Amino acid sequence: MRMTAHRIDEGIYHPKDLEDREISRAAPSPPGRIVSLTPIASELICIFGCIDRIVGRDDHSTFPPALGEKPAVGSGVYRTISAKRVLDLDPDIVVTGRRVPQEEFEKIGSAGIPVVVIGTGCELEALISNSWNLGRMLATEKKTGELVDYLERYANLIRDRIGSLNIESRPLVYNECAFRKYMTKACTAADEGIALAGGANIAHDEDLGRLAVSEEWLIGNNPDIIISQVSSTSPATVEMLLSKRDEILSRPELKGTNAIRNGRVYISHLSIRRGPRMVGYLLYLAKWFHPELFQDIDPAAVEKDMLQKFYGLNLEGAWAYPEV
């Protein structure tokens, strides 16, 4: 049997599977028992005040911290999601991305549980689309509107100040993946974020997706700025961020690049690059790239405000370094 799913990532919420066939059981509206298998959905469900409806989660849905009290059913990233553990939780609906093994999807579908497949890209527009669609599903449109307004306010602030910068005014940016040296990304959400913040990804014209590059390639492209991240499971401390920055700054092969010579190496915590907290990440990028245009903007204060306003949290932590 094919997995049953609502094609919510296309702005559609209806009881059909991916082949547009009617499913055997429609989800309650709004659903009372949810298993969420992607961190983006888990965060949004919590922001919308529905954490009590989450009865299970994937291993990576650990923020906000209260999610850690929910039963975990495996990892979408490492494809260890267990259909049995999902079904044992007796959900009304399962919300997921596309990383669950097909055989586990089929087991859930065979049990007649509706599955909502959301887009898991880190692009701002995908986040806004996911927010509206999950908000409609949960009947939390008012809270959804407040979140979307907040995201769009800061995105528009960045767009207005970046304006029509010509290519010569955009710093060349090398984005190194969190988990591997000399691995970057082209034509991805990271690429979009760099462009929105007024930078130019030096890998933009390379092959789609993750890309292993050589030291020679990087030196030849001579980035003005290097950005990277630490894992979302790492402590959110200055020491952790500084350690990653120092490692990059100390690479002897890069000492002749503009980024190293000018000390323009910036590190963020991966948790703020995905989901609703990306608004803070975009502000950090914009201020790193164009400090003269964003002197009055404090990305750390915006991050703190978002955590208080939408998550009800007063968290201490360092999410980017240097904060400038």
Structural domains of the chain, with CATH: 8-139 (3.40.50.1980), 163-321 (3.40.50.1980)
**pLDDT score recorded for residue 145:** 97
**pLDDT score recorded for residue 103:** 84
Average pLDDT over residues 96-107: 80
- In this predicted structure, the answer to whether residue 98 has a pLDDT above a threshold of 90 is no
- Greater confidence, 111 or 28? 111
- In this predicted structure, the answer to whether residue 308 has a pLDDT above a threshold of 70 is yes
Beta bridge partners of 95: 36, 116
**pLDDT score recorded for residue 1:** 34
Residues of the chain with pLDDT > 90: what percent? 59
Question: Among positive and negative, which fits the CA dihedral 294, 300, 305, 307?
Answer: positive
Around 126, how many Cα atoms within 13 Å sit in the side-chain half-sphere? 19
**pLDDT score recorded for residue 27:** 61
Average pLDDT over residues 151-177: 93
How far is 186 from 202, CA to CA, in rounded Å? 9
The answer to whether the CB of 174 falls within 8 A of the CB of 227 is: yes
Average pLDDT over residues 290-317: 94
